[in-house]
Structure 1
Amino acid sequence: MIDELDLAFDEQIERGKPRHRRGVRGAKGGKGKSAVAFLMIFILLGVLGVGGYLGYEKIKGFFTAADYDGPGTDAVQVEIAKNSSLTDIGNTLVDADVVKSTAAFIDAADANPKGKNIQSGTYNLRKQMAAKEAVTLLLDPKARVSKGVTIPEGKTANQVYTILSKATGIPVAEFKNAGKNPEALGIPDFWFNRTDGQKVTKSVEGFLFPDTYEFPPKGTAADYLQLMVQHFMKVADELDFVQKAETVRNISPYEVLTVASLSQAEGGNSEDFGKVARVAYNRLYGDDFHCQCLEFDVGINYYYQLTGRPTKPSGKMTDDELFDTKNPYRLHGKDGLTPTPINNPGKVAMKGALDPPKGDWLYFVAIDKKGHSAFTGDYNQHLRNINKAKQNGVL
């Protein structure tokens, strides 16, 4: 066949050379050979075409993501973790046998204009669904079993228990009981070390990280608190909280966390959290304040809340209340920090307590109704700031 093709191409070349004119017999024989050659070329191209098509279909099969057909079979609940990527979601669905492959799910999500809007949470899905069907259900709010529970920054453990109870239907008493064993919830024992000589009081206070959570629908009180503690530990790792507390602040992580909770309570807005922490460190460890005490009022109300007493605005607290020796959370007439954090601070307050801005501030007071405070290291200036606060109707 190769020889015939060569002859055919030679024939065409020869036709391009008019100087060699062939005889009638030679011309007739050449036409016959050319016809055979062209027929063979046609057949060859046909064979190659069919083979190429079959090969393409076979190769195409290798690159097509494995997928199920149809809307699926048995019902199944699947939890999508917070901050999951499409790959993470696909892997979760494959593990639950909802979709056949992660690749098919990613392709379906990419093809859907809202495919990247899938939220975390627990969903009612079906096993062995087409990836396209799975994406559609994950974007359907009606398919979500659990709804987000938001824990605001600065809430005490008792306040957190009330919020969780309303959202889950689990009695507050069960949350309180679960909170009595911090280590069982995942708080390592070293977190309760102190360098200030105070008696260690182990409490879950401070470790219930404020955020919006997607809780599984059939969890226990301990399960939900564990999730919050795990989130706290993750944030602490991101901030390198333990290492920086011990090496930069030169005190225990628990004490820094306590400062974070105090600044969360005293600061009128997130811009001031770090400055309040600096005031705390200047008073506790500096030489320019009249004692190594804080003299913050917020510890009083925390103790009142713990013991079921009504809280009071700072301006209405009496000296007897501020200096009450029976109140372990008082910060007047007593050096050092409170026995435990007094709330559950957010990331900004934690970061501010770790790395507060530099300043010689010893005093601060809220000066407007937006919560901004004036900070100073001079007591006379502090008195002027107080007058300004009164003029603004804050005090």
Structure 2
Amino acid sequence: MELRFESNPDPGRWRHRRKEGKGRSVVAFVMILLLFGVLGGGAWYGYDRFAGRFLAADFDGPGTGEVIVEVKKNDSASAIAETLYDKGVVKSARAFVNAANENPDSTDIQVGQYRLRKEMKAADAVTALLDLKNKYVEGAVTIPEGWTKMQVFDALAKASGLKYEDFEKAASDISKLGVPAAWLKRTDGKKVDKSNIEGFLYPATYELPKNATADQILKMLVKNFNAEMTKLDFANKAAKLQISPYEALVAASITQVEALLPEDMGPVARVLYNRAYSGDFPCGCLQLDSTVNYWLRLNGKEGKSSEKLTIDELHGAENPYRYNAPGMSIGPISNPGEIALKGAIDAPKSPYFFFVTVDAKGTMAYGKTFDEHNANIQVACRNGIPIC
């Protein structure tokens, strides 16, 4: 009996302390649970921050939206990486540092502010920082790839203080804005609408001169377009395809909208050529929802998904961009960027007449026959692409 209390000569007091300790234990247990909850959340947040900075996690795609980031004087690759990570541009600082180390030109990144996208692949972020077209200047206007003339007019009006209608009026004759005569012809017998500036508003960042008129601003954009086409040798390469530069521009504008990944720009353009010019596609037409949706937007309406387009919207005779309009589209449906333009003039030969996006990354699959196309559609459906 004495052994039971050998360490405590006062058994009554010991029992009292045990009772008090039991109550405290319950409180302590609850506190520990709460602490674990807090620490759990903090641990998750801490791990997320740790992974973002020290593990080389990377995003897959080209990114979305727009964010302004600043590269400061004497910034190292690590400092730039931290900025990009904090802004949500890259998934991890380490991925950017690795990409910068792999790109020998990364040491040429200049001080300044840049327009980037959120959730970019790290290597793409390095490339974007090396492209001075992405530099942000206060009061400047950036025209992204794939914007329509309506979107461009709206942005220019807001930045310049002019009216949207001023730009519409200034664009009524593109030959007076500097579009070369060679661009106002087609090889397929269709006429070029000189009142349609779509496709000639080259995507880039433009610093608008103070008190400039709409006419002067559009001439500046067209001048840049001409310079970029000269660099690409666009007209001569289009001639080798036995089409006019305007028709190649139309193809590039459609490709810009249809293809999500750079590697698909050329193959998609080739499908357009195969449909419009080969004589082997039954209707000799494009059969694209994107051209139909462009017509809707021209008329102040919203674009629609495939299943929501009506028969009249698809095939209305008054719509020159209709689904079964013969040949290459009557005009561009967007303002394409460099990659889409290169794709249109360097389109690799193929036997394909169909393409479809088959996964969330934007991967395209191609088919020669309608049966092959349907099989690719089933792959897309299994991957959760909403086209079924």
Does 1:177 pair with 2:185? no
**Would the alpha carbon gap of residues 229 and 119 (structure 1) be closer, same or farther in structure 2, given more than 3 Å must change?**
farther
**Would the alpha carbon gap of residues 170 and 391 (structure 1) be closer, same or farther in structure 2, given more than 3 Å must change?**
same
Cα distance in 2 for partners of 1:323, 1:242 equals 32
Counterparts of 1:52-71 in structure 2, within 5 Å, are none
Partner residue of 1:260? 252
Cα distance in 2 for partners of 1:370, 1:165 equals 35
Offset of residue 150 of structure 1: 0.9
- The structure whose Rg is larger is 1
Deviation per CA, 1:271-330, whole angstroms, max 9, x where unpaired? 211111010111122243212111111111111111112321123213332111111111
**2:215 maps to amino acid:** A
Cα distance in 1 for partners of 2:149, 2:110 equals 35
Partner residue of 2:309? 317
Give the TM-score taking structure 2 as reference length: 0.62
Does 1:270 pair with 2:246? no
Q: Which residue of 210, 213, 219 maps to 1:226?
A: 219
Cα distance in 1 for partners of 2:112, 2:378 equals 52
The alignment's C-alpha RMSD in Å is 2.3
**Would the alpha carbon gap of residues 282 and 145 (structure 1) be closer, same or farther in structure 2, given more than 3 Å must change?**
closer
Residues 299, 342 of structure 1: 8 Å contact kept: yes
Cα distance in 2 for partners of 1:314, 1:186 equals 37
Residues 146, 215 of structure 1: 8 Å contact kept: no
**Would the alpha carbon gap of residues 219 and 145 (structure 1) be closer, same or farther in structure 2, given more than 3 Å must change?**
farther
**1:154 maps to amino acid:** G
Offset of residue 391 of structure 1: 2.0
Partner residue of 1:206? 199
Cα distance in 1 for partners of 2:111, 2:302 equals 44
Cα distance in 2 for partners of 1:379, 1:301 equals 23
Q: Which residue of 336, 342, 355 maps to 1:345?
A: 336
Other structure's SS at 1:230 match: helix
Partner residue of 2:23? none
**Would the alpha carbon gap of residues 115 and 268 (structure 1) be closer, same or farther in structure 2, given more than 3 Å must change?**
closer
Partner residue of 1:376? 367
**1:234 maps to amino acid:** A
**1:217 maps to amino acid:** K
Unaligned runs of 5+ in 1: 1-113, 121-143
Does 1:298 pair with 2:290? yes
**2:153 maps to amino acid:** Y
**Would the alpha carbon gap of residues 366 and 199 (structure 1) be closer, same or farther in structure 2, given more than 3 Å must change?**
same
Counterparts of 1:126-275 in structure 2, within 5 Å, are 146-202=138-194, 203-246=196-239, 248-275=240-267
Offset of residue 179 of structure 1: 1.2
Does 1:388 pair with 2:368? no
Residues 151, 212 of structure 1: 8 Å contact kept: yes
Partner residue of 2:36? none
**2:369 maps to amino acid:** D
Other structure's SS at 1:388 match: helix
**Would the alpha carbon gap of residues 367 and 347 (structure 1) be closer, same or farther in structure 2, given more than 3 Å must change?**
same
Offset of residue 168 of structure 1: 2.1
Cα distance in 2 for partners of 1:330, 1:365 equals 19
Residues 146, 216 of structure 1: 8 Å contact kept: no
Residues 113, 137 of structure 2: 8 Å contact kept: no
Counterparts of 1:355-370 in structure 2, within 5 Å, are 355-370=346-361
**1:213 maps to amino acid:** Y
Cα distance in 2 for partners of 1:179, 1:358 equals 36
**1:279 maps to amino acid:** V
Cα distance in 2 for partners of 1:237, 1:168 equals 28
Other structure's SS at 2:247 match: helix
Offset of residue 228 of structure 1: 1.0
**Would the alpha carbon gap of residues 115 and 355 (structure 1) be closer, same or farther in structure 2, given more than 3 Å must change?**
closer
Give the TM-score taking structure 1 as reference length: 0.61
**2:256 maps to amino acid:** Q
Offset of residue 115 of structure 1: 12
Counterparts of 1:5-24 in structure 2, within 5 Å, are none
Residues 279, 362 of structure 1: 8 Å contact kept: yes
Residues 331, 338 of structure 1: 8 Å contact kept: no
Cα distance in 1 for partners of 2:260, 2:308 equals 18
Q: Which residue of 303, 311, 326 maps to 1:335?
A: 326
Residues 263, 276 of structure 1: 8 Å contact kept: yes
Partner residue of 1:135? none
* Percent of residue pairs identical: 44
Partner residue of 2:280? 288
Deviation per CA, 1:334-382, whole angstroms, max 9, x where unpaired? 3112221111111111111111122211111111123222112132221
Partner residue of 1:23? none
Deviation per CA, 1:113-160, whole angstroms, max 9, x where unpaired? x9974799xxxxxxxxxxxxxxxxxxxxxxx98433110101111110
Stretch moving more, 318-327 or 256-265: 318-327
